[in-house]
């Protein structure tokens, strides 16, 4: 986008345009590294902590809420789901937390009253932002509006129902207007709907029956929770206390609204039957309520003792918790061991970039796997529409790999990067026609997701 290429039209990708805009901002900060992404991730985490604090303050004193907000990031920064970093889910989490905070604040301060017009307007804005980041993350909002429809229809409150629909639509329209203008000016509306909506819904849809989909969803959720045991305990604890006690909600309507948002959030992600580790990230905000429930029990049981400690050590307590959270974070998430602090050997991306950038105007193809960071490291703008292979089987969408194979046969790019198994031989890859047009320029072993791969750089003859 920074160089005038239009997503979906000029480059085949599947995520939302708002996510690409976030990455465009990151690119402006650093052209050849993910430093800009790191800064934006840190900003998103700041808002996560702030919103966790404000949500906890609805039910707890300020100091316990502050301590909970320090512990909450540990549930997001878990080793498996956060391994890749920079996912769409990371940038959607603050929006989920913001909506939950507004909803729970309304229940706390305006019990029994309809949601305000401003609430629906802001809800539409958050819904719109998530829509243009990754629309499969909208399940929570769908669950919320389903219960709004049922409650207002059952009570025949048609006026409130119209307000909900109208002001939500206005917020959604405001969030969507920039993208319709951008794609309209660049003649990309058809590509936007054809790829982002139509293709994604067809490529990832399942032909199973509804009961089978729900069973698959339950299995996927169970597996994801099993890989994130601490988050599992916190989510189940939070759901138990918020839904089966009267400490936090004062009516069944409030409980059903909270439940439908949580259930919709989970179903929206997993009902398709697919299960990638980073999918779990969008569910982690629900773990906050387990921390709040435990914090409430501790606050009640040790109120006098805790107040004395806090009064005598006003700053010492949060400092101790912050330091504790810092060390627990690196014990719970060992991904830092793959960072520059521990790995002294230059990455394959940097080594290949040094070779590629010897040429005056190099072009590159990332063949057969998701973008591996080689374009970024080399500061190269892709020159082919299918610049990477999506996570889609060949039989579902053969055009992706058919086009990549055509690029190789026709020598469309000066360099090609291939990822193969560790045991593969660079000169014996089964890639149609590659050795007629290219020769091996370099190769290097590097770990990815716990597996060692052989990366091979081909240069045009």
pLDDT in tens, 346-380: 889 999 999 999 999 999 999 999 999 999 999 99
Question: Does 156 lie in the same domain as 86?
Answer: yes
Confidence class for position 405, pLDDT limits 50, 70, 90: very high
Give the CATH number, domain containing residue 370.
Answer: 3.40.190
Residue 148 located in a structural domain: yes
> Domain range spanning residue 132?
17-337
Residue 4 located in a structural domain: no
pLDDT in tens, 286-317: 999 999 999 998 887 765 555 555 555 566 66
> Can you say how many angstroms the Cα of residue 367 is from the centroid of all Cα atoms in its chain?
24
Residue 6 located in a structural domain: no
Question: Does 146 lie in the same domain as 85?
Answer: yes
Largest CA distance in the chain: 79
Q: Which residues pair with 455 in a beta bridge?
A: 419, 444
pLDDT in tens, 200-227: 887 766 656 677 777 877 887 888 777 7
pLDDT in tens, 135-180: 999 999 999 999 999 999 998 999 999 999 999 999 999 999 999 9
Residue 450 has pLDDT above 90, yes or no: no
Query: What is the number of domains present in the chain?
Result: 2
CA distance between the termini of the chain: 31
Of the three residues 282, 315, 337, the one that is the final residue of a domain is: 337
Average pLDDT of the segment spanning 58-80: 85
Mean pLDDT of the chain: 88
> pTM of this prediction?
0.89
Of the three residues 337, 364, 389, the one that is the final residue of a domain is: 337
Question: Does 91 lie in the same domain as 218?
Answer: yes
Question: Does 234 lie in the same domain as 135?
Answer: yes
Residue 185 has pLDDT above 60, yes or no: yes
In the prediction, which pLDDT does 307 show? Answer: 57
Q: Which comes out higher in pLDDT, residue 437 or 223? A: 437
Percentage of the chain beyond pLDDT 70 is: 89
Average pLDDT of the segment spanning 33-57: 92
Question: Does 407 lie in the same domain as 303?
Answer: no
For residue 36, what are the contacts with CB-CB under 8 A and spacing of at least 6? 25, 26, 27, 28, 29, 30
Per-residue DSSP letter, 363 = -
Confidence class for position 276, pLDDT limits 50, 70, 90: confident
Question: Does 362 lie in the same domain as 275?
Answer: no
Q: Which comes out higher in pLDDT, residue 299 or 252? A: 252
In the prediction, which pLDDT does 275 show? Answer: 74
Nearest to 410 by CA among 392, 436, 387, 429: 436
Average pLDDT of the segment spanning 311-330: 68
Question: Does 309 lie in the same domain as 381?
Answer: no
In the prediction, which pLDDT does 303 show? Answer: 58
Distance CA 235, CA 222 (A): 12
pLDDT in tens, 90-120: 999 999 999 999 999 999 999 889 999 999 9
Q: What is the DSSP string of 244-307?
A: HSSSS-SSHHHHHHHHHHHHHHHHHHHTTS---GGGGGGGGGGGHHHHHHHHHHHHHHTHHHHH
Q: Which comes out higher in pLDDT, residue 32 or 118? A: 118
Radius of gyration of the chain (CA): 25
In the prediction, which pLDDT does 332 show? Answer: 64
């Amino acid at each position: 986008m920074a160089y005038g290429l239009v997503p979906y039209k000029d480059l085949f990708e599947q995520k939302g345009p708002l996510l690409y805009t976030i990455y465009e901002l990151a690119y402006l900060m650093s052209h050849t590294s993910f430093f800009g992404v790191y800064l934006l991730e840190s900003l998103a985490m700041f808002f996560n902590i702030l919103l966790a604090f404000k949500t906890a303050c609805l039910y707890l004193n300020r100091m316990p809420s502050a301590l909970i907000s320090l512990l909450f990031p540990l549930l997001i920064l878990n080793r498996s789901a956060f391994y890749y970093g920079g996912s769409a889910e990371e940038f959607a989490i603050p929006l989920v937390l913001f909506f939950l905070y507004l909803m729970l604040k309304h229940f706390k301060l305006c019990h029994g009253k309809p949601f305000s017009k401003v609430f629906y307007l802001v809800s539409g804005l958050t819904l719109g932002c998530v829509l243009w980041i990754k629309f499969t993350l909208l399940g929570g909002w769908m669950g919320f509006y389903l219960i709004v429809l049922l409650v207002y229809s059952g009570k025949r409150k048609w006026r409130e129902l119209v307000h909900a629909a109208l002001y939500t639509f206005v917020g959604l329209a405001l969030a969507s207007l920039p993208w319709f203008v951008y794609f309209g000016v660049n003649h990309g509306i058809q590509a936007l709907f054809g790829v982002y909506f139509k293709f994604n819904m067809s490529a990832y849809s399942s032909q199973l029956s509804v009961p089978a989909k729900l069973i698959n969803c339950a299995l996927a959720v169970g597996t994801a929770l099993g890989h994130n045991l601490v988050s599992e305990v916190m989510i189940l604890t939070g759901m138990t206390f918020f839904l089966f006690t009267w400490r936090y909600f004062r009516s069944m309507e409030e409980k059903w609204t909270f439940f439908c948002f949580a259930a919709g959030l989970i179903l929206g992600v997993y009902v398709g039957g697919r299960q990638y580790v980073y999918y779990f990230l969008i569910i982690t905000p629900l773990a906050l309520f387990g921390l709040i429930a435990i914090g409430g029990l501790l606050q009640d049981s040790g109120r006098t003792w805790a107040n004395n400690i806090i009064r005598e050590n006003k700053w010492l307590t949060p400092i101790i918790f912050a330091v504790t959270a810092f060390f627990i974070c690196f014990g719970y998430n060992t991904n830092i061991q793959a960072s520059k602090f521990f790995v002294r050997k230059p990455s394959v991306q940097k080594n290949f970039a040094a070779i590629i950038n010897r040429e005056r105007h190099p072009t590159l193809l990332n063949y057969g796997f998701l973008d591996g960071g080689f374009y970024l490291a080399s500061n190269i703008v892709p020159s082919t529409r299918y610049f990477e292979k999506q996570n889609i089987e060949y039989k579902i969408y053969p055009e992706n790999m058919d086009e990549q194979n055509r690029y190789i046969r026709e020598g469309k790019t000066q360099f090609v990067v291939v990822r193969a198994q560790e045991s593969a031989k660079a000169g014996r890859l089964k890639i149609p026609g590659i050795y007629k047009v290219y020769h091996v320029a370099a190769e290097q072993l590097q770990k990815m997701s716990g597996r060692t791969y052989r990366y091979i750089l081909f240069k045009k003859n």
